[in-house]
Amino acid sequence: MLTNEIKDKLIQRAKEAWGRAYAPYSNYNVGAALLTESGEIYDGVNVENAVYPVGICGERTAIFKAVSEGHRSFQAIAVVTKNGGTPCGACRQVMAEFGLDTIVLIANTDGELIHQLSVAELLPYSFGEKDVK
């Protein structure tokens, strides 16, 4: 169960990650904290590059770190930006790959929870495994 204490912890971890983002071009830091089904937390940041397509978002960094450690099921992910921006389409698609029921907490750098949604709510009519079989 996703208690308020766990939500606060995820948002705090995402805020801490936000400060480590590498965004010299957009100056739009993103921090993320992903909670696995087993209770482990993986954080991530956006990493930009002068060649824009080769950068990566904070949400995907956290997910790829967790997947590389063997995790495939997630309870929630907190995403922190200065203005409470929502994940991009690529991040939504990656989240959908690992569970439409995953809770997405969107917060600003003050730690204020702006939105709490499921991945399915962020990406209705998602394309997934069922579509490629």
Q: Which residues are catalytic?
A: 59
99 neighbors 74 (Cβ within 8 angstroms): yes
Largest CA distance in the chain: 44
| C-alpha span between 112 and 110 (Å, rounded) | 5
- Show the tokens assigned to 72: 């495939």
| C-alpha span between 1 and 48 (Å, rounded) | 34
- Show the tokens assigned to 108: 């600003």
Residue with tokens 């690992």: 98
The runs of H, that is alpha helices, within the chain are 4-18, 58-68, 89-97, 119-122, 129-132
